[in-house]
Structure 1
Amino acid sequence: MSDHDIVSPAPESEAELAFEGALRPRSLAEFVGQTRVRGQLQLLLQAASLQNRTPDHILLAGPPGLGKTTLAMIVAHESGRSLRMSSGPAIQHAGDLAALLSSLVPGEVLFIDEIHRMARSAEEMLYLAMEDFRIDIMVGKGAGATSIPLDLAPFTLVGATTRAGLLPNPLRDRFGFTAHLEFYDDAELERVLERAARLLELDVDRGALAEIAGRCRGTPRIANRLLRRVRDYALVHTSGSGDRRGAVGLDAVHAALELYDVDELGLDRLDRAVMKILLERFDGGPVGLNTLAVSVGEEAETIESVVEPFLVRIGLLTRTPRGRVATPAAWRHFGVQRAGQTLFGDDL
């Protein structure tokens, strides 16, 4: 078999891929949560349709797992356009972007994930492409270099970023609409889980759904992942085969999430490792980010972008000019005794 031969996926893999696709809503009406953003997008797409033009460029900003990629697919689907997908890290030269833009068909939707990670030279080329649907190709080097203008087919750029502050102002200003996605509340996550459970043909008690929703960190991607782990646990630990099993209850949810190190607040292994190091080794802080990262054996960027936002949001950690500090709620949650103090009293 040569390196270029294509191996067809096994039927099980095809079924799993089909399920992954089915989990994604196909329309704004199916999309759960982000009510304000859905209404704004609906208006933008309808106005473009009535005027028979491509929709304005759209920037989707927010933490990972809230539905930015799904919304980009919905924009293409609801506007009746094809979708081209790429990512910022894959566009490291202006030539990469030029090849991508010149291959677009009229009206196509281009989705660039993590757009803030594009190369600076590509960003500067994108300014002209977004505004005038044109790029300038440099031919030759030095004094003999010439610029050749290349007209592009009208397109809609949908950019997604988890760090909108890293986008340069000239690029951010060229988006006709910027959507800021917010974390989900428990009621919205329950609706996400209900839909996923139907697709999994899994009967889950209402109380069990609520328990999973409370441990999802406000993120649909995590909700779907935890539901699948609960499904796996129920499948393995329920006797019988071929018969329809009873509803998955709280006991199964508790056992499955304990097995996968997800506690009642939604903290995982890395979250707890960071907090316990902060509480036990550094007496609650303050401690610098790099010191904290080295202590748990992780990159500082991972701690800052993945762990800290959730710990700050639920009130277990604060950031100060001197470093990271554990809150009184953290001491209570982990049951760790601060040096020279008891676990009781108002001073905790």
Structure 2
Amino acid sequence: MPDSSQSRRIVSPAATDEEIQFEASLRPKRLDDFTGQAKVKELLSVTIEAARRRGEAMDHVLLIGPPGLGKTTLANIVSQELDVPFDLTSGPMLQKKLDLTGILSNIRNRQVFFIDEIHRLLPDIEEVLYSALEDFRVDIVIGQGPGARTHSLPIAHFTGVGATTRQGLLSAPLRGRFGLILYLKHYDVPEMQKIVHRTASLLGTPIDTDAAEEVARRSRGTPRIANRLLRRVRDYAQVRAEGHVDLKVARMALDLLEVDRFGLDEIDKKIMLTVLEKYGGGPVGLSTIAASTDEEPDTIEEVYEPYLMQLGFLDRTPRGRMATERAFEYFNVPRRPMGWGMGPNQPKLF
């Protein structure tokens, strides 16, 4: 089994190189094989077929949703369905205009060009992308000072696919360049169960239906997390249960990973107990929670908070984050009396 530092991060969206390669081997190659996201699939299917019949590059697509829901997989599927080349990069990797200009000048006709974390593009690089997406050209500045000249270089018509977890950070001009904007949502348990069965089949791991449902229920509606959990369950089954995953084996493995029945891991619990115990249920600011839990504010806001809010454990208010009654009950933390922490009611620390 993984060490404690790995297990506490089992539901983190950050993927190692090994995990990226592993996930790539499990990705469906066609739209029909992609589980869930019915509305997104239908819209993509129509758009892909229309582009195929016209023999043109498909309209640019913006995929919006939490980490691990299949944005990269869908971009790959678009290229497979159109039978065109696929190239990818990410916002943080593009640090200079020449980085993006070099890629775009070598792009091929109808190619799919995928930009992950597109909301993290630098402003001057984003401006280069504007003309590429809208007019299929890149502007190159030659020379410096008064003698500098701008040359417009035409590029092949391509399909730009952007992915973001934070649509609020996208500028309006960039968002307006995408003709198709699609929102991915968390998967329900039956959809997750299908994904677990498919992954187990690809891994050659026999798994019972109720065991697959248990893994699915603790996966936070996220395929990437389901695949991570299933790998750990598979390891446990190979060592302790002759490779077969039944309900008992699945529960024992997931309990060992400290992933509870809602899919909450150690970091989720630390965040909630900080709000509940240290700050009496709130309100408390995001930066204060981050400092108290030794986590990055962006990670808490993007990864952990949305699911805690979805479960009804946490609320965002103008004054800060607040725990709900359901959170007090689930984590078995008694409410503090009114006035705790003020004047004579404040407990002595020493």
Same fold (TM over 0.5): yes
**How far is the alpha carbon of 1:238 from its aligned partner?**
2.5
Choose 206-215 or 79-88, whichever is displaced more. Answer: 206-215
**Once the two structures are superposed, what CA deviation does each residue of 1:210-235 show, in whole Å capped at 9, x if it has no partner?**
11111111111111111111101101
SS in 2 for 1:293: helix
Q: Could you tell me which of 253, 259, 264 is aligned with 1:256?
A: 253
What residue in structure 1 maps to residue 10 of structure 2? none
Q: Could you tell me which of 186, 193, 198 is aligned with 1:195?
A: 198
Matches within 5 A, 1:1-348: 20-239=23-242, 245=243, 247-340=244-337
What residue in structure 2 maps to residue 4 of structure 1? none
Distance in 1 between residues matched to 2:289 and 2:170, nearest whole Å: 28
Q: Letter of the aligned partner of 1:117 in structure 2?
A: R
Where structure 2 has 5 or more consecutive residues not aligned to the other structure, the ranges are 1-17, 339-350
Q: Does the Cα contact within 8 Å between 2:282 and 2:321 map onto a contact in 1? A: yes
Distance in 2 between residues matched to 1:256 and 1:321, nearest whole Å: 40
Q: Aligned pair count? A: 321
**Once the two structures are superposed, what CA deviation does each residue of 1:6-28 show, in whole Å capped at 9, x if it has no partner?**
xxxxxxxxx99875433100000
What residue in structure 1 maps to residue 4 of structure 2? none
**How far is the alpha carbon of 1:236 from its aligned partner?**
1.1
List, as ranges, runs of 4+ consecutive aligned residues in structure 1 with deviation greater than 4 Å: 15-19
Q: Letter of the aligned partner of 2:30 in structure 1?
A: S
Report the TM-score when normalising by structure 1. Answer: 0.89
Distance in 1 between residues matched to 2:20 and 2:168, nearest whole Å: 34
**Once the two structures are superposed, what CA deviation does each residue of 1:267-317 show, in whole Å capped at 9, x if it has no partner?**
111100011111111111111111111111112222111111111111000
SS in 2 for 1:64: coil
Distance in 1 between residues matched to 2:290 and 2:20, nearest whole Å: 35
Report the TM-score when normalising by structure 2. Answer: 0.89
SS in 2 for 1:315: coil
What residue in structure 2 maps to residue 6 of structure 1? none
Distance in 2 between residues matched to 1:124 and 1:22, nearest whole Å: 35
Q: Does the Cα contact within 8 Å between 2:66 and 2:302 map onto a contact in 1? A: no
**How far is the alpha carbon of 1:337 from its aligned partner?**
1.3
Distance in 1 between residues matched to 2:19 and 2:100, nearest whole Å: 32
Q: Letter of the aligned partner of 1:285 in structure 2?
A: G
Distance in 1 between residues matched to 2:66 and 2:139, nearest whole Å: 34
What residue in structure 1 maps to residue 348 of structure 2? none
Q: Letter of the aligned partner of 2:193 in structure 1?
A: E
Q: Letter of the aligned partner of 2:157 in structure 1?
A: P
SS in 2 for 1:225: helix
SS in 2 for 1:255: helix
SS in 1 for 2:29: coil
Q: Which has the higher contact order (CA 8 A, sep 6+)?
A: 2
Distance in 2 between residues matched to 1:16 and 1:25, nearest whole Å: 16
Distance in 1 between residues matched to 2:35 and 2:20, nearest whole Å: 22
Q: Letter of the aligned partner of 1:154 in structure 2?
A: H
**Once the two structures are superposed, what CA deviation does each residue of 1:63-105 show, in whole Å capped at 9, x if it has no partner?**
0000000000000010010101101101122211111100112
Where structure 1 has 5 or more consecutive residues not aligned to the other structure, the ranges are 1-14, 240-244, 342-348
Q: Letter of the aligned partner of 2:149 in structure 1?
A: T
**Once the two structures are superposed, what CA deviation does each residue of 1:185-212 show, in whole Å capped at 9, x if it has no partner?**
0010001111111111111111111111
What residue in structure 1 maps to residue 343 of structure 2? none
Distance in 2 between residues matched to 1:314 and 1:17, nearest whole Å: 28
Distance in 2 between residues matched to 1:340 and 1:146, nearest whole Å: 70
Distance in 2 between residues matched to 1:107 and 1:286, nearest whole Å: 51
Distance in 2 between residues matched to 1:262 and 1:268, nearest whole Å: 5
Identical-pair percentage:
50
